[in-house]
Chain A
Amino acid sequence: MEPMISVRHLHKSFGTHKVLTDISVDIHIREVVVVIGPSGSGKSTFLRCLNLLEQPQEGDIIIEGTSLMAKTTRINDIRTELGMVFQQFNLFPHKKVIENIMLAPVRVRKWPVGQARQKALELLDKVGLREKADVYPASLSGGQAQRVAIARALAMEPKIMLFDEPTSALDPEMVGEVLAVMKDLAREGMTMVVVTHEMGFAREVGDRVLFMEQGVVVEEGDPEQLFGHPAHERTQAFLSKVL
């Protein structure tokens, strides 16, 4: 089967600092791929390359048959199919919760306001925050803000969701509510790429786990194999520190 996302020999540097070296990964429809690794391993940069928030220098990323590196590709159109959730939430502080969610469907998808509002309220129900529709993001807790951010990304009805350390900025007691929303999404068959330090989530929800270090994918496999019997000694060293 044709992969949903195909990353081919990706290279990325910031100046002289090489961040990603020859990354090749396929991600299939309905698959949950979890990327783990130490800080500075390039896992967030890898994720940000998938919607070109970072511009790779070499290689290609093919999403549903369209090359992101081709001159003719309209990146804005591709991004509407890729929902992104950030570590720092990045909600729009000058817009109410419901306006945060409705903005892109109305301005980008050109939906009528009524339809966008309907969809936004459904999504707020889904993440359990309907009563917060008319407040500003500043009054939300971190966990609530991240659930709104997930709803905002889902409002565009993306085919793929990208999560960039979605629970790393949260107080420990709020991690669970965000992970629960993500588990629901995975269960519904959303294609997901998740960069995280939550090993429990990786093990429970991931279909496949990539271990990255120093800009390369050191090892990949299904969670049982990677966590239970890591083949590479760098994977073993990392897991012995975090588990």
Chain B
Amino acid sequence: MDFRFDIIAHYIPVLLRGTAFTIGVSIVSIILGSVLGLGIGFGKMAPKAYFRWPFHCYINFFRGTPLYVQILIVHFGVIPAFYGSTNVLMTSFVALSLNSAAYSAEIFRAGIQSIDPGQREAAVSLGMTQFQAMRFIILPQAVKRMVPAFGNEFIVLVKDSSLLALIAAPEIMYWSNTMKGQYLRIWEPYLTAALIYFILTYSLSKLLNYIERKV
């Protein structure tokens, strides 16, 4: 079997741009997703059941349906409804952030609920407000426990962003598909894509191990 490095070399510049897109959309989505997820996570811990309900539904919808379907709904339904026409960049950020928020919410909730209730009791018995107890006592301890789960979520997000090829977002898989179409070859485009994803996720997991040791 011949393996044509020359066509890979030819595609390197666009694949690098695709990689930059993948990294960019993943970073923005994990950040937006965490911020949104923190709010949703708190919503799901609310004392009143009717207040928890919408957050509960949100999480179950995004965890219970394929990202593939969510991307299509956002791309052809949600974005046109708000923006007037489809927009690949917006869909990329919105779909991945909304999806990531559901998983982040569960990470936050689990992390916060894993802290011994005695910690909150000690804090409020010293006169701290619920907010201060959360801010100074519970969250700093909970965040430490959340780091591995967040790392995992980030890695999943990087890989799942490949589904954006579906709407022609210019990321790694999109360019690999283009390469396959141009040269009618299988191994070169897909192995290259696999290698790029592997390098991204492997470096990410190394970085996360380092952060876990630090905190």
Are the chains A and B members of one assembly? Answer: yes
Contacts A92-B137, A94-B141 known; A76 to B122 CB distance under 8 Å?
no
Does B85 make an interface contact (CB < 8 A)?
A: no
Decide yes or no: A53 and B141 within 8 Å by CB, A88-B118, A92-B119, A108-B132 being known contacts: no
Identify 9 residue pairs between A and B in the complex whose beta-carbon atoms are under 8 Å apart, listed by A's number.
A53-B121, A76-B128, A77-B127, A90-B122, A92-B141, A104-B126, A104-B127, A104-B128, A108-B132
Residue of A nearest to B140 (CB): A94
- Cβ–Cβ contact B136 & A51, under 8 A: no
Inter-chain contacts of B178 with A (CB < 8 A) = none
Answer yes or no: B2 CB below 8 A from chain A CBs.
Answer: no
Instruction: Report the bound CA distance from A145 to B124 in whole Å.
Output: 19
- Within 8 Å of chain A (Cβ to Cβ): is B6? no
Give the CA-CA distance A84 to B120 in the complex, in Å. 13
B interface vs A, CB < 8 Å? 116, 118-119, 121-129, 132, 136-137, 140-141, 144
| A86 CB within 8 Å of chain B | yes
Q: Does A156 contact B (CB under 8 A)?
A: yes
Cβ of B132 to closest chain A Cβ, rounded Å: 6
Do A76 and B141 contact each other (CB < 8 Å), given the known contacts A53-B121, A86-B122, A90-B118? no
Closest residue on chain A to residue B130 by CB atoms: A76
> Contact: A86 with B121, CB < 8 Å?
yes
Whether the pair A92, B125 counts as a contact (CB closer than 8 A) is no
CB of A182, distance to nearest CB on chain B (Å): 17
Residue of A nearest to B215 (CB): A94
Tell me whether chain B's interface is mostly helix, strand or loop, or mixed: helix
In the complex, A79 Cα to B124 Cα: how many Å? 8
Q: Is A226 an interface residue (CB 8 A)?
A: no
Known pairs A92-B119, A107-B136; A156 contacts B127 (CB<8 A): yes
Is A202's CB within 8 Å of the partner chain B?
no
The answer on a CB contact under 8 Å between B136 and A103 is yes
**A83 to B116 alpha-carbon distance, docked (Å):** 20
The docked-state distance in angstroms from the alpha carbon of A91 to that of B118 is 9
Tell me whether A153 is interfacial, beta carbon within 8 Å: yes
Give residues of chain A (81-103) contacting chain B, Cβ–Cβ below 8 Å.
82-84, 86, 88, 90-94, 103
A90-B119 contact in complex given A107-B132, A107-B136, C-beta closer than 8 Å: yes
A167 adjacent to chain B (CB < 8 Å): no
- Interchain CA distance A82-B126 in the complex, whole Å: 8
Tell me whether A79 and B137 are in contact (CB under 8 A). no
Residue of B nearest to A108 (CB): B127
**Could you tell me the distance between the alpha carbons of A81 and B141 in the complex, rounded to whole angstroms?**
27
Asked whether any CB of chain B lies closer than 8 Å to the CB of A196, the reply is no
Check A53/B125 contact, CB under 8 A, given A90-B116, A90-B118.
yes
Contact B121 A80 (CB under 8 A): no
